[in-house]
Homo-oligomer: A and B are copies of this chain.
């Protein structure tokens, strides 16, 4: 396994690998690797010849009052975990390498970036699409793997790839959860014991409404109300949004149909958590 810090070096390695016919797979991360990342890495390992992961806490996707500074870092441990999976290259650039002085170019998926999380994080997705575009140009992957945990991010990245004709297959991997239901996230580290307990209401309310849908309730106002009621029982939780939207364009809908995204964002103390479920055709009443 090789750690590469310079973009140009990584690009030359990737270009040479492509020339020899190797299939490059990529898992972009912000480090502090957990089971969710490891699952992405395993899937990516099986889908190609050369597995690259990137570890970069991307400043442009954090707002001015967000947790960029205190976002956890754990490179030495990440390296061991990556080695264990059989990662071939870790691309691990500095902030100056990725955003030199006078950096000016951004990629934006308009409209999509203003919805859901975009309402309270107006520059977040611009930062995500810009760094992912850069990583794709540097690492030149054939396939890139992202988690459905960040559903809006994945939908926006797929849209960017399609609109800009990027020659990358974007693959979504389902959410990995703790045994008690909490979706894995590097930000779970921030939670106190009591906060963590209350955070379970995100996954439990989503499980609850999935049951409702299976049993024939498809009115989104009812489902939304049910989630909000459950979250409001938790005194440490402040709801950012509960939204029920079409997966392809993130537009809200009145009746659940196939490929509907039910997404939640809340504040628990100083920590912002998100979770979601997707309703597929097979979940709907016949």
A-side residues, CB < 8 A to B, are 7, 11, 15, 18-19, 21, 102-112, 129-130, 133-134, 137-138, 140, 159-160, 163-167, 249
Contacts and interface: CB of A to CB of B under 8 A. Distances in A.
- How many copies of the shown chain assemble into the complex? 2
Nearest to A102: B249
A7 B166 CA distance: 11
A112 to B, nearest CB: 6
21 contacts: A7-B165, A15-B167, A19-B21, A104-B110, A104-B111, A104-B159, A104-B163, A105-B107, A105-B108, A105-B109, A105-B110, A105-B159, A105-B163, A107-B133, A108-B108, A134-B165, A137-B164, A137-B165, A137-B166, A138-B165, A140-B167
A112 B108 contact: no
B19 A107 contact: no
A140 B163 CA distance: 16
Nearest to A113: B104
A107 B107 CA distance: 4
A8 B109 CA distance: 21
A156 B177 CA distance: 45
Given A11-B165, A140-B167, A166-B137, A110 B106 contact: yes
A274 B178 CA distance: 62
Nearest to A160: B105
Nearest to A140: B167
A140 to B, nearest CB: 7
Contacts of A160: 105
Nearest to A135: B165
A166 B135 CA distance: 10
A200 B266 CA distance: 64
A133 B108 CA distance: 13
Nearest to A129: B105
Contacts of A15: 167
